[in-house]
A = this chain, B = another copy of it.
Amino acid sequence: MYEIFQQYLDDKISLSSEEASSIRESSIIKKIRKRQYLLQEGDVWRYDAFIAKGCLRTYSIDEAGSEHIIGFGIENWWIGDRESLLSGQPSRFNIDAVEDSEVVLFAHTNFEKLCVAIPAFGQLINQILQRSFIASQNRIQAALSYTAEEKYRAFLEKYSAFANRLPQSMIASYLGITPETLSRIRKNASRKP
């Protein structure tokens, strides 16, 4: 599984073989079966996690017990709770596997050392953080100003690579609409030329 992460790095940056080795030596491969947790609410998140295979979701559970999905991740995406990571406080989120998955984990303290020691790697990670920030700004705008239809379209655009791998109930939870509303939107969309 590490090969997928190695390929990801090779596609994006140039590393000497020593640099590539030192990244590999810090990595931990973890298999997570469908419905198993990578992170549970109340635990502190201390990793940087790259998804090598499968699909995971980040969600919170409100006082009434309803799940609210903050985001999904598949192969070649990063996932985690940056707030808990940086604050050292228990996470308010759960991350579990939507499908059988494999992740490449790095203890954050080691990861930070790698980012400093290997500037190209640090820059790559910084770019990913910036892109994540932009994506979350866009999600705020969508949540505030989009109709349910527009939210669904934006979702399909963002997650085009794997929307068909997700149960409709999870897509509805991500969009903040009921499964019935989602079903109506899908019907209307399929009728359009």
Query: Which of the 9-residue segments A22-30, A125-133, A158-166 touches chain B?
Result: A125-133
Any B CB within 8 A of the CB of A92: yes
Any B CB within 8 A of the CB of A108: no
Contacts of A176 in B (CB 8 A): 143-144
In the complex, A125 Cα to B60 Cα: how many Å?
29
Contacts of A140 in B (CB 8 A): 70, 136, 139-140, 143
**Interface size grouping (class) on chain A:** 20 to 34
Any B CB within 8 A of the CB of A68: yes
In the complex, are the beta carbons of A70 and B126 less than 8 A apart? no
Pick the most buried of A60, A133, A176: most chain B CB atoms within 10 A of its CB.
A133
Any B CB within 8 A of the CB of A117: no
Mark contacts of A140-155 with chain B using CB atoms, 8 A cut-off: 1 yes-contact digit, 0 otherwise: 1101110000000000
